[in-house]
Structure 1
Amino acid sequence: MFNLASLYLTGTGTVQSFPTAFMWYAQALERGHTPAAYALAIMHLNGVGTVRDCQMAVKLLKEVAERGDWVTDTLDAAYAQKAVDSRASALSFLQLAEAGHEVSQSNLAHLLDRDHIKLFPSDASEKYDSADQDGHGVFSPKTESLSLIRLLSPLEIPSASGRVLAQRFYEMSADQGSPSSELRLGDFAYYGWGIGVELADTMKESETLTEWRDDEREVTKRLQTAEIRYYKQDSPDYASALSHYKRTADTQIIAEWMQPFIGQARFDVGFMYQWGLGGVPMDLSLAAKHYEKCLEVHPSSGGTVVSIMRVVL
C-alpha cells in the first residue's frame, strides 16, 4: 500500500494522483505503517492531495516521533519495572509524560493516584521557602518558573507527590483526549481532591480563572499582570465534576477499551441530574436519558445499579 501510494504520488508508472496517493497512505497507516504516517503529515502540512491542516500534520508527526526507539525503549522499561520497582517505573513514565506522551501521562497519573508513589524526597518542601501565612504557594508568572516541588510542597497535603501531582498528569492526558483521565478529573472535582487555582491579586471578589477561561486574550492579560494562587481543595466542586463527566460522555468511541469509561461517565451525569447535587439543576428526564445511554454504550457496566436508579426515577 505504501509503495503503491508512492507511485501515485510521483506519477511513476501511472498517472500522478495526489488524492489517490493520500488514500493509499491512509490505508497503510490504518495498518500501523509508520512511514505512511510521516508521508500523510507532510501532505497535510503542504495541502497536497487534501486540505491543508497543520494541526493534523503535528498530530501525525507526533505519532511518528512516539514510535521512535527512545520512546519505545523507555516505555518498555517502564512497564517492565512496574511489578518490581513502582517508583522507578513512575520515573520512566515521567520522562515520556513531560515529552507529551499521552499513554505515559495516564499511566503515571494512575501510579501517583492509586499507588501513592512519591517521586520526590520527603524533605523537598524544605527547599521551598516562599509560602504565605495560609500555606499557599504564590509566584509571579513574570519572574518565577513553575516547579512541581515548589508548587506542591507548601500546600501541606498528605501524599502531596501522589494524588495532587497525579492531577497535573490527568489534566495533560485529558487534554489529548483520554476519556479515562477526563473521567478521573471529574472524580477529583466531585470528591474535592487535588488543588485549585485562582488569581491572588487583581481578581474581583469570588472571581476565578474558570469564569473567563474561554476568553484567551483576557486570560493572557490577567496572567501577565497578576499573581496566581494555588490552594488545597477541601470541598466538592459539583459544577466542575459535571463538566468533566459530560466531556467524557461526549467522547467519540473509536476503540472498545473506551466503552467502560464513557459508560461510567453517562451514569455519573445521570446520577447528578437525578439528585440535583450541589446546585446542578435536577432534571429527571435528562437523568433517564443518560442512564439509557450508559446501558447502550457499555451494557455490562453496572446494569443492576442503573436499573435500580431507573426504578427510583
Structure 2
Amino acid sequence: MDTMSQKQSPATYDITNDDIEKMSNAAVEVSAVPSAGDEFTKEKVVERSGTEQTEAEKRGDELYRTAMRFLDKGRAASTEAKRAAYRLLDEAAQLKHKEAMKLTAFAYLFGDYTRWNIDEARAVFEELAAGGSADAQLALGFMHAIGLGVPESSQAKALIYYTFSALGGNPLAQMALGYRHWSGISVQQNCERALTWYRKVAQRVNEQVRISGGTAMQRIRLPDEQDTVSTSSSSSILDSNLLNYYKYLADKGDLQAQVGLGQLYLTGGRGVEQNMDLASQYFSTAAQAGSTNAYAYLGKMYLDGTSATPQDNATAFQFFKKAADKGNPVGQSGLAIMYMYGKGVKQDYTKAAKLFTLAAEQGWVDGQLNLGYLHFRGLGVKRDFKLAIKYFQLASQSGHVNAYFNLAQIHATGTGVPRNCHTAVELYKNVAERGRWSERLMEAYASYRSGRVDEAAFKYLFLAELGYEPAQTNFAYIIDRGESNLFPSEEALQRALLHWQRSANQDYAYARIKLGDYYYYGYGTPVDYEMAAAQYKIASDRHQAAQAMFNLGYMHEQGLGINKDIHLAKRFYDMAAETSADAYMPVNLALMKLTALFLVEYFKENSFVTMLDYVFGANWDLYAITLCLGLIVMLWMGYRRQRLVGLVH
C-alpha cells in the first residue's frame, strides 16, 4: 500500500468519464456505520455581569470538561474510563455545576456506571426543573408516568412535564409526545400532532447521520432469544469465542476476517465497543494485501475524519479511487459523494450520478440513496419522482436512515405520491428511534444478561414510554416471568398486560398471542374469552401464527368465547399444522381427541346401525362379514399350528 506521504490535491487525481466507464463491477457485502445523536439540551446558566467565576465554579468546570473528554468518545471509551468520568461528574455536581448535576442525576436514574438511586435522582431533577431544565422535565415526566420515584402515578402530570420538555427542545420528550398522540395514550389520537413531534426528532437524527447511513438498530427481543437460545447465529450479540476466532483468522492473513473486524470496530455493533484505532489497523492491513473493500473503508474514515484518521480529502480521494478502479461500489459511491458535495474536487453532479449509478447497480445502499436524491432534485440527471422513490425504497430495505427520512418527507408532503400521514409517521418514527439514544436498548439488554434485572426492566420501561416496541416487549416479558420486583405482583401483571397491548399494536405477533393469553387466564384483568379469541384471531389472520390457530381450534372445540364448532376446530388445527412443523404433534393429539368427541356426540344423536351406515356406507354388513370370516380363518390357522407343535413334542 502506498504510504501517501506526499499528498497532492484530489484534483490532481481527478477522474474522467472514460475512467468511470472502465470501472468494472464487483459484488460486496458490508455493514453500516452508526447514526449519531444527543438526547440532552444545554443547561441555562445565569450570567452575572462584572462577576468572575468563584473557585468552586472553576473547579466544577474543570472536573466537567475532564469527564466529558472520556464520555465524548462514546462506545470507544472503556467501562472503567466511564466510571472514572462519572466520579468526576459527581464531584462537579457537588459544586452545583448544572450540566454535571444533570448527567449525574440520569446516571442515578438508570444506574449507569454509578449507584442506582431513583429517589436521589428525583431530588436533583426537581432542583434543575425549577430552573427550567428541559432534560430534568423529561425525567420527571417519566417518573410520573410510571409511578416510581414519586408518591403515585399521574398521567396528567407526565403529559405536562413531557410537553414543557419537548417545547424546550428535548428529542426524547418529543418522541414520548409523538408516541402518545400516535397511540392515543392519555390524549386523543391525532396523526398530525404525532407527525409534528416525530418529524422534529427525525430531522435531528437525519442531519447527524454520516454518509454511510447509520447502523440498523439492534432490536433484541427477549422472547426471540428464549426461542433460539441454542442458536448463536440468531443473536445480535457476537459471542466472545467467535470474535476471538475472527481475530485469529485476521492475524493469519484472512482478508475477509480483517475487513469484517474493521467494520465491526468502526460501527461498534453487536456488543463490540467502537474502536477507531483497531478499525484503521485492520483496514490498513487488508489494504496492504490489496483488498478493495479495505481501501474503500479507509476512504470513508478519512472523508469523515475519526480519532485514528484525521479528516483529509486528498487521502480519502486516493483510497476511494483505488477501490473504484477495481469496480468496488463503496469506492465508487465515495468518489461520487466527493463530486456531489465538491469535497476537495470541483462539484460535478453528472460525474456523481454516473458513479452512483455504478454503485447502485451492484446493490450498494449509498449509491441507491444518493441516486434517488439526484433524481428527486434533478441534479446531473432528469428530475423523476418515481425513480427517486424507487431508489429510496431500495435503500430503505437495507435500513438506511436517510432513505427512511426522505420517504417520510415525500409521504408527509405528498410529493410524487398521495399524501399519507399514517405512512409518514411510521417512517419518521423509524428514523427517530435510530438516534444515539437507541444504544440504551443494548445497555438494558446488558443489564439483563448480567443479572441486574430490575435495572434492565427500568431501562426498558423508559424506552417503552418513547414508543420502542422491543422495549415494551422486553419489559412485559420480564414481568411475565416474575423476574422483577419493581412492582407488586397484581400491579405488575396489569403493567405487563398494558405493555403487551402496546407491543401488539405495533404488530409484534408474540405480544398479540400473549395478550390473548392474559385475557384467557385472567392475568391482570378479568377472564374474557371473547377478547382472548379476538386477539388470537388477529394473530392468526395478520401474522399467520400457528399458536394462535391452535388456540382458536381449542376454543371452538370447547365453545369458549366463540361458537362451539368441531368442524371449525379441526380447520384451525389443520391450519396450525400446515403453518408450523412444531405444531404437528400437539395438533395430532388434539385431532385424536376431537375424533373421540365427534364419535361421542354422534352416538348421542344417532343409533348404532345408523352410525355404521354413515361411517362405512350402506354395504357395511358385507365388510363386517368379510372381517369376521377373516378372523375365523386366522383363529383356525393359529389353532392348527399349536396342535401340530403339540404332536411333534
TM-score (norm 2): 0.34
Stretches of structure 1 lacking an aligned partner (at least 5 in a row): 121-157, 196-232, 254-261
For 2:443, the aligned partner's letter is: A
Greater C-alpha radius of gyration: 2
The offset of 1:280, in angstroms, is 2.3
Instruction: Answer whether contact 1:97 1:105 (CA < 8 A) is retained.
Output: yes
What secondary structure, in the 3-state scheme, does the structure 2 residue paired with 1:24 have?
Answer: helix
The offset of 1:297, in angstroms, is 1.8
**Cα distance in 2 for residues equivalent to 1:23 and 1:297:** 33
Asked if residue 305 in structure 1 is aligned to residue 586 in structure 2, the reply is: yes
What secondary structure, in the 3-state scheme, does the structure 2 residue paired with 1:67 have?
Answer: coil
Instruction: Answer whether contact 2:491 2:524 (CA < 8 A) is retained.
Output: no
Asked if residue 266 in structure 1 is aligned to residue 266 in structure 2, the reply is: no
The aligned length equals 226
**Cα distance in 2 for residues equivalent to 1:14 and 1:248:** 46
Asked if residue 239 in structure 1 is aligned to residue 530 in structure 2, the reply is: yes
**Cα distance in 2 for residues equivalent to 1:50 and 1:311:** 54
Q: Between Structure 1 and Structure 2, which shows a larger proportion of strand residues?
A: 1
Question: Aligned match of 2:512 in 173, 182, 200?
Answer: 182
**Cα distance in 2 for residues equivalent to 1:263 and 1:106:** 20
State the Cα deviation string for residues 255-275 of structure 1 (Å, max 9, x = none): xxxxxxx11001000111112
Instruction: Answer whether contact 1:264 1:294 (CA < 8 A) is retained.
Output: yes
Indicate the residue corresponding to 1:92 in structure 2: 459
TM-aligned CA distance change 1:165 to 1:252, over 3 Å: closer
Instruction: Answer whether contact 1:11 1:17 (CA < 8 A) is retained.
Output: yes
Asked if residue 18 in structure 1 is aligned to residue 301 in structure 2, the reply is: no
Indicate the residue corresponding to 1:134 in structure 2: none
Instruction: Answer whether contact 1:66 1:101 (CA < 8 A) is retained.
Output: yes
**Cα distance in 1 for residues equivalent to 2:501 and 2:568:** 27
What secondary structure, in the 3-state scheme, does the structure 1 residue paired with 2:467 have?
Answer: coil
Asked if residue 250 in structure 1 is aligned to residue 541 in structure 2, the reply is: yes
**Cα distance in 1 for residues equivalent to 2:551 and 2:433:** 34
Q: Between Structure 1 and Structure 2, which shows a larger proportion of helix residues?
A: 2
Instruction: Answer whether contact 1:116 1:159 (CA < 8 A) is retained.
Output: no
Asked if residue 45 in structure 1 is aligned to residue 327 in structure 2, the reply is: no
Indicate the residue corresponding to 1:81 in structure 2: 447
**Cα distance in 1 for residues equivalent to 2:505 and 2:463:** 16
For 1:77, the aligned partner's letter is: E
Instruction: Answer whether contact 1:167 1:194 (CA < 8 A) is retained.
Output: yes
Q: Which runs of 4+ in 1 moved over 6 A?
A: none
Indicate the residue corresponding to 1:67 in structure 2: 434
The offset of 1:116, in angstroms, is 4.1
TM-aligned CA distance change 1:164 to 1:116, over 3 Å: farther
What secondary structure, in the 3-state scheme, does the structure 1 residue paired with 2:577 have?
Answer: helix
Instruction: Answer whether contact 2:550 2:587 (CA < 8 A) is retained.
Output: yes
Instruction: Answer whether contact 2:453 2:483 (CA < 8 A) is retained.
Output: no
Indicate the residue corresponding to 1:192 in structure 2: 522
The offset of 1:14, in angstroms, is 1.6
TM-score (norm 1): 0.69
**Cα distance in 1 for residues equivalent to 2:427 and 2:472:** 19
For 2:489, the aligned partner's letter is: S
Indicate the residue corresponding to 1:123 in structure 2: none
For 1:184, the aligned partner's letter is: K
Instruction: Answer whether contact 1:117 1:161 (CA < 8 A) is retained.
Output: no
Indicate the residue corresponding to 1:173 in structure 2: 503
State the Cα deviation string for residues 164-216 of structure 1 (Å, max 9, x = none): 22111111111111211111111111111213xxxxxxxxxxxxxxxxxxxxx
Describe how 1:19-38 pairs up with structure 2 within 5 A. 19-38=386-405
Stretches of structure 2 lacking an aligned partner (at least 5 in a row): 1-367, 595-649
Indicate the residue corresponding to 2:559 in structure 1: 276
| Identity value in percent | 35
